[in-house]
Amino acid sequence: MLEGFLWRQDVDFALLQEVKHKTTDTIQHYTAYGNAGTNNRGTEILAKKGLPITNIKRIPSGRGIAGTFNGLWIVNVYAPSGAEKRKERERISLTLMFHS
């Protein structure tokens, strides 16, 4: 289903969250750049073949991945929602600022 969508819409880059990384490795004509978290799910950037992502940065929890394409940063962050998760969102923001 995802592969068909990518092809029909002619998508160059897709930012995915809550990904089980082995499932997206089989999407034809795309390279998967993944960041698996401790529960084996995480974030991912799919890039059409011939559009390489470089300078990959990952948040160890799996909640974020970033990389560059032609000098442009592509950033995928899966931050938890809700008032009770505010501290966790702030931690993710600090991780991005100081560890990238």
pTM for the full predicted model: 0.78
pLDDT digits (tens, 9 = 90+) for 22-74: 666 778 899 999 998 877 788 999 999 999 999 999 988 888 899 999 999 99
Superfamily of domain 2-99: Endonuclease/exonuclease/phosphatase (3.60.10.10)
- CA 65/CA 15 separation, integer angstroms: 9
DSSP-assigned letter for residue 79: P
Bridge partners of residue 72, in order along the sequence? 69
List the chain domain ranges.
Answer: 2-99
pLDDT in tens, 65-75: 999 999 999 99
